[in-house]
Amino acid sequence: MRVAMRATMRVAARAVMRAAARVAARVAGSCPTVCVRMALVLTIALCLGTLAACGSMPDSVIVVAGSTSVQPYAEVLAEEFEHQHSENGIDVQGGGSTAGVTAVESGIADIGMSSRSLKEAEQALWSIEIAKDGLAVIVHPQNPIADLSLTQVRGIYSGEISRWSELGGVGTQIHVIAREEGSGTRSAFEELVMGNHRITPRAIIQDSNGAVMQLVADDRNAVGFVSLGLVELHPDAVKALRLDGVEASGRNVVSGTYGLYRPFLFVTDGEPKGLTKQFVDFVLSAPGQQILEREGLVPVTADREDEG
Amino acid sequence: MMRKFREKLPGRIFFLLALSSISVLALITVFIVVQGAPIIARVGVIDFVFGMSWAPSQGEYGIFPMIVGSLSVTLGAVVLGVPIGICCSIFLAEFAPVRLRNLFRPAIQLLAGIPSVVYGLWGLIFIVPFIRNYMGGPGLSILAGSVVLAIMILPTVISISEVSILALPPAYKEGALALGMTHWQAIRSVQLPAAKSGIVAAVILGIGRAIGETMAVIMLLGNAVALPSSILDPIRTLTTNIGIEMGYATGEHREALFATGIVLFVVIMILNSTAQTIVKRKKDQ
């Protein structure tokens, strides 16, 4: 349905463009050389056409922007929501948690996605947790190490432990892989694991969960951290380490025994209304939460049932 | 009256169009400086350029490791790429049979047309695992970046040095041969020295290409912000610092990335003006 609507829009836009070209041609008709005339026609046609295209956007579109960790899940949810409510559009964009929150504050986005808790300065905004996502510390499947303590992980990432032999593995150098400054996954990892320590500047930096995972899957001496949901979708590519003896799994996140997890938040400026509210309600509804669970996240409803 | 107007109008329009490209340059410069200068002023030029620690979340902005990164990767690309490029241009200008030349030239031009992300992907699949398995380290390294950049600067180096060899007056070569030199002697002691400034300009333009490259090196260098101890260590360049962090950066962090852009801008301007001086000196001779 949505595709059909877009096609109609495109046809309409093209008709407007053609009309614009005709207007432009008449204006330019009075001008001298052919070359100049053509340039004028093109310029005027483009200007009018662009204006027309801008004017014909549908009204019922909301913009969801922010964390690239939440983005793939939001896209799946948006697709399903559009399937059910074909007259509405959900425009999902990336940008990062901080950018998402800023976009909501400035009114550019209707919903901001955040993969970290809100900072103090951001507390004025309305927010709701849509799911929990564990953080998995991952190594190559053939790495003999399967269990580390939180202190050991901190040691690896602060640079104090630099060889696998210090952890009982084979004696090669550890290739530490981290995310870039500003990433929600990185700040969650810093908050949950590093405490006052810093991630070593020698760490290799990759700019997405996928890139970290690919690198660890290829390199026997690598260690990285990614969204647990992603690991559960590709269980053979990498090995998620047990932390202090607790297996990294959605179930252990729910029960609270696996401590490495962060909230996925939807943030809005004030109580959500209209289409925004419809979409948030859909995400929190049983079908919405089922989609998130199927995609590897820990639904918030499971949490509530446990408490209740 | 009308004819005079018709005659002048195209010139005016072309002037306006030319002006627009210059004004874009001016706009970009002003924009980068306005966005980036405040943070340099706050941190201090010396601390910003020679600072060793880059941790925007802690308010530390030192880009020295990245300057070292840009320079070392570029140096690596020059060491690997320039000898091959110059030899190839000598071959094309002096030795290649016409048929071979007609095959090589478009092939080299094609090399210039491959998007850098494709080079990056190719390097990630072939060069990085090779280095990891046979030379050690994580594979993402100065060496991996240098190898791929060396290939990327080849078209620039080859075509400009070839042109500068071909542009020599034929009398140089004829005179050398008439004096009894062999073909190789003529190339080595007459033609290459005469084409030197053109070849140097080719190398400098190649350096400019290497230092400004972003996408391929993001994929290949590993982006660690520390001084490397060997060519097998990962490193971050000025361009990749902007490329990798811009998506997430806000406030002061964002300003610091623009400031990184200022430093890069200055480096590239120095390179370009050097190239122009050299080319100009050649014309004056």
- Whether the pLDDT of residue B147 is over 90: the answer is yes
Residue of A37, A98, A202 best to disrupt the B interface, most CBs of B under 10 A: A202
Task: Indicate whether B94 belongs to any domain.
Answer: yes
Task: Indicate whether B181 belongs to any domain.
Answer: yes
Domain that holds residue A173: 134-261
On whether both A42 and A15 belong to a single domain, the answer is yes
Instruction: Please name the member of B139, B224, B225 whose beta carbon is closest to the beta carbon of A219.
Output: B139
Query: What CATH number corresponds to the domain at position B171?
Result: 1.10.3720.10
On whether both A186 and A273 belong to a single domain, the answer is no
3-state secondary structure B240-264: HHHHHHCCCCCHHHHHHHHHHHHHH
Kindly list the residues from chain B whose CB atom is less than 8 angstroms away from the CB atom of residue A175: 137-138
* B20: its two tokens: 């627009």
- The Cα angle at residue A233 between residues A232 and A236, in degrees rounded to 5: 80
Confidence of residue A31 (pLDDT cuts 50, 70, 90): very low
Q: Compute the nearest-CA separation of A218 from chain B (Å).
A: 8
* Residue A11 CA to its chain's centroid (Å): 33
Task: Give the residue, A146 or A170, on which the prediction is more confident.
Answer: A146
B interface toward A at CB cutoff 8 Å?
6, 9-10, 13, 53-58, 65, 129, 132, 137-140, 218, 222-226, 233-234, 236, 244-245, 247-250, 253
Kindly list the residues from chain B whose CB atom is less than 8 angstroms away from the CB atom of residue A187: 57
Q: Compute the nearest-CA separation of B52 from chain A (Å).
A: 10
On whether both A229 and A302 belong to a single domain, the answer is no
Instruction: Please name the member of B132, B224, B247 whose beta carbon is closest to the beta carbon of A205.
Output: B224
Task: Give the residue, A302 or B147, on which the prediction is more confident.
Answer: B147
Instruction: Please name the member of B56, B65, B224 whose beta carbon is closest to the beta carbon of A203.
Output: B224
- The total number of structural domains that make up chain A: 2
CB contact under 8 A, A182 and B244: no
- Cβ-based neighbour number of residue A286 at 10 Å: 9
- Whether the pLDDT of residue B164 is over 60: the answer is yes
Task: Give the residue, B278 or A114, on which the prediction is more confident.
Answer: A114
- Whether the pLDDT of residue B137 is over 50: the answer is yes
Confidence of residue A1 (pLDDT cuts 50, 70, 90): very low
* Residue B138 CA to its chain's centroid (Å): 26
- The total number of structural domains that make up chain B: 1
Residue of A191, A198, A205 best to disrupt the B interface, most CBs of B under 10 A: A205
On whether both A48 and A140 belong to a single domain, the answer is no
CB contact under 8 A, B248 and A175: no
What pLDDT does residue B90 have? 94
Task: Indicate whether B272 belongs to any domain.
Answer: yes
Domain that holds residue B172: 54-284
- Whether the pLDDT of residue B37 is over 90: the answer is yes
Convert the pLDDT of each residue in B225-277 to its tens digit.
999 999 999 999 999 999 988 877 778 888 999 999 999 998 888 888 887 78
Instruction: Please name the member of B137, B138, B249 whose beta carbon is closest to the beta carbon of A182.
Output: B249
Pairing of strands B54-55, B60-61: antiparallel
Mean pLDDT of B87-100: 93
Task: Indicate whether B1 belongs to any domain.
Answer: no
On whether both A107 and A171 belong to a single domain, the answer is no
Is residue B233 within 8 Å of B137, Cβ to Cβ? yes
Mean pLDDT of A138-164: 93
Instruction: Please name the member of B65, B138, B244 whose beta carbon is closest to the beta carbon of A180.
Output: B244
What pLDDT does residue A85 have? 83
Kindly list the residues from chain B whose CB atom is less than 8 angstroms away from the CB atom of residue A95: 247-248
Is residue A40 within 8 Å of A86, Cβ to Cβ? no
What pLDDT does residue A42 have? 53
On whether both A200 and A257 belong to a single domain, the answer is yes
On whether both A83 and A147 belong to a single domain, the answer is no
On whether both A242 and A272 belong to a single domain, the answer is no
Task: Please report where in the chains the tokens 């949810």 appear, as a residue.
Answer: A77
Q: Compute the nearest-CA separation of B187 from chain A (Å).
A: 46
CA distance B187 to B89: 12
On whether both A8 and A114 belong to a single domain, the answer is yes
- Whether the pLDDT of residue A13 is over 70: the answer is no
Q: Compute the nearest-CA separation of B54 from chain A (Å).
A: 8
Size of interface A-B (CB pairs under 8 A): 91
Using DSSP's 3-state secondary structure scheme, residue A175 falls into strand
Task: Indicate whether B18 belongs to any domain.
Answer: no
Residue of B nearest to A208 (CA): B244
pTM surpassing 0.90?
Answer: no
Q: What percentage of chain A carries pLDDT values higher than 90?
A: 36
Q: Which amino acid is at A56?
A: S
What pLDDT does residue B99 have? 93
Q: What percentage of chain A carries pLDDT values higher than 70?
A: 78
- Whether the pLDDT of residue A25 is over 80: the answer is no
Residue ending a domain, among A244, A261, A278, is A261
CB contact under 8 A, B56 and A182: yes
A interface toward B at CB cutoff 8 Å?
32-33, 35-36, 39, 68, 94-99, 102, 173, 175, 180-183, 187, 190, 198, 200-207, 215, 218-219, 221-222
What pLDDT does residue B280 have? 78
Mean pLDDT of B139-155: 95
3-state secondary structure B81-138: HHHHHHHHHHHHHHHCCHHHHHHHHHHHHHHHHCCHHHHHHHHHHHHHHHHHHHCCCC
Task: Indicate whether B26 belongs to any domain.
Answer: no
3-state secondary structure A43-96: HHHHHHHHHHHHHCCCCCEEEEEECCCCHHHHHHHHHHHHHHCCCCEEEEEEEC
Task: Indicate whether B29 belongs to any domain.
Answer: no
Is residue A46 within 8 Å of A73, Cβ to Cβ? no
Q: Do you know the residue count of chain A?
A: 308
Mean pLDDT of A198-208: 90
Query: What CATH number corresponds to the domain at position A79?
Result: 3.40.190.10
What pLDDT does residue B180 have? 93
CB contact under 8 A, A198 and B249: no
On whether both A123 and A153 belong to a single domain, the answer is no
CA distance B69 to B224: 10
Kindly list the residues from chain A whose CB atom is less than 8 angstroms away from the CB atom of residue B55: 181, 198, 201
CB contact under 8 A, B140 and A218: no
Q: Compute the nearest-CA separation of A187 from chain B (Å).
A: 9
Convert the pLDDT of each residue in A210-263 to its tens digit.
889 999 999 999 999 998 888 888 888 999 999 999 998 888 888 888 989 989
Kindly list the residues from chain A whose CB atom is less than 8 angstroms away from the CB atom of residue B139: 218-219
* B43: its two tokens: 């941190």
On whether both A155 and A273 belong to a single domain, the answer is no
Could you tell me which residues come within 8 angstroms of residue B28 by beta carbon, excluding any fewer than 6 positions away?
none
What pLDDT does residue A137 have? 95
Confidence of residue B170 (pLDDT cuts 50, 70, 90): very high
* Residue A147 CA to its chain's centroid (Å): 29
Task: Indicate whether B151 belongs to any domain.
Answer: yes
Kindly list the residues from chain B whose CB atom is less than 8 angstroms away from the CB atom of residue A180: 223, 244-245, 248
- Whether the pLDDT of residue B29 is over 50: the answer is yes
Confidence of residue B62 (pLDDT cuts 50, 70, 90): very high
